[in-house]
Structure formats: structure tokens, C-alpha cells
Amino acid sequence: MDWEGPGKHLLASLEGAGVNYRVCRIWQEPLPAPDPFAGLMVLGGSPNVDEEEQFPYLRPLKDHIRQVIERGGSYLGFCLGHQLLGHVLGCRVGPLPKKSVGFITGELTAAGLKHPAMAGLPKQLELFKWHGQGVLPPLPPGVHILAHSAAAPVEALSVEGNPRVVGLQFDNHAGARDVARWLKHDAQWALSGTGIDPQALVAEAEAKEAAMGEKFRGFMHNYLGLDL
């Protein structure tokens, strides 16, 4: 989405680690060849993973994700990026019982507690959510659930043998200003049927920004420190 993009905490993590990156608007430009890059991050968006006719850029994006994974590269997906990863890995992706918008508590699984990207994080995690679909169990062999919640059975996943491939259903990369911008542009979808008070949600994002940013930067420090 033109109004979305990398959130405050993600940008701070990349810049703090000295990571060179390129932001690609895949609905407007072709993806570059994966060869010059150490990895790929895919953020959220309005499409569902099976809406290739309506959003034709999903086909080359899925192929790109497959190439990155097959060559043993690094992949980190948020929200739709997480769902696309699950889809490429052979998981079922579909509607959840209800939308998940706002702050909830999730929990790391036994696999999540052992995953090096999650090192030092508490078992109970605060998650910021903005989605209506998700990856659905059971997962194929070799794909592991790293976190779950009452709202989504697969809040995070990874693949056996490559800890650099991670999907996160939640959008903890977003800061309070990102949340306010999303509400401005996507309020009709986000507020419909959820009972969310937009002013209260922004206030909650502001109150929790420092703590959530610290934990997200800890995750990214772990993730970027993996052997790439």
C-alpha cells in the first residue's frame, strides 16, 4: 500500500545495524533479481494470497520468495508477507473466525523459545495485529509454529534447517505514527465489526511504543545477527 511501508521500529533496526536495503513497491515496479541481496523482507497489504487475478504481481512475488528460500537465503515476512511465506511452503491460508486488529497477547511455542531470532524475548509477547486471514494448521512437515494466540493459531513460523526464514503475522514493526496513518487510510476495513475505538488505539500505541520498540529491536538484532 502507498501509505504503509516499513514501520518506525523496522527502519530503526535496519539503520541501527547499518543494513543497506532497497524498498520495492511491487505493484508499481518489477522485483530486482535476488542475486545481489542477502535476503528479502515482505510487508503487509490488502490482497489475500490467492487473489492473483486481481493482484497479478502476487505471481512473480511468490516465485521470488521460492527462489530466495531454495537458495538458502534470508526471508522475513510480516502480515501478508507471513501468509505468502506459508502459502509458498504449502500451508493452508484462509479467513480467521474474526478480524484481529489492535493489541493482543501471544505466546511463544517450544519451537519459538528455541529459535535464535527469539532469544531473550519473553514467552508472553504483546502483538500488534491488523489482519483477517492467517496461516492455518496443520502445517506441512518441516514448518514449525513459533508463536500462537487466541486470535490466530500461527502467529509466527519458521522452517527446519534455515532459521533465517521467518514469518510473523503481527506488525510490531509499526510505531504509533504508523498506527495512526493506517487508521486514517484503512479505517473502514479495520473498524468494521471490530468495535475498535480509533483514538483509544492510537493512545494505546503511544503508551506502548517504547516497550514494544525495545522488544522488536531485540528480535531484529537477533535476526540480523544470524549467519547470512
CB neighbours of residue 16 within 10 Å: 12
The answer to whether position 2 is within a domain reads: no
Question: Does the pLDDT of residue 144 top 70, yes or no?
Answer: yes
The answer to whether position 128 is within a domain reads: yes
The answer to whether position 131 is within a domain reads: yes
Residue 128 is predicted with a pLDDT of 98
The answer to whether position 207 is within a domain reads: yes
The answer to whether position 107 is within a domain reads: yes
Domain hosting 39: range is 8-224
Domain count, the chain: 1
Q: Is the bond into 60 cis (omega within 30 degrees of 0)?
A: no
Query: Domain with 134 in it: what CATH number?
Result: 3.40.50.880
Q: What does the mean pLDDT of the chain come to? A: 96
Which band of pLDDT confidence, cut at 50, 70 and 90, is reported for residue 69? very high
Residue 34 is predicted with a pLDDT of 85
Question: Does the pLDDT of residue 228 top 70, yes or no?
Answer: no
The answer to whether position 1 is within a domain reads: no
Please tell me what DSSP assigns to residue 117. G
In tens, the pLDDT along 188-197 reads 999 999 999 9
Question: Does the pLDDT of residue 227 top 80, yes or no?
Answer: no
* Rounded mean pLDDT, 176-194: 96
| 218 neighbors 172 (Cβ within 8 angstroms) | no
- Residue 167: exposure state from Cβ atoms within 10 A (0-12, 13-18, ≥19): buried
∠ CA 211-42-153, nearest 5°, is: 65
The answer to whether position 18 is within a domain reads: yes
**Sign of the alpha-carbon dihedral angle for 193, 208, 119, 62:** positive
Give me 16's grid cell: 541501527
Return all residues near 22 (Cβ < 8 A) that are at least 6 apart: 32, 37
Question: Does the pLDDT of residue 2 top 90, yes or no?
Answer: no
The answer to whether position 3 is within a domain reads: no
Give me 122's grid cell: 519473553
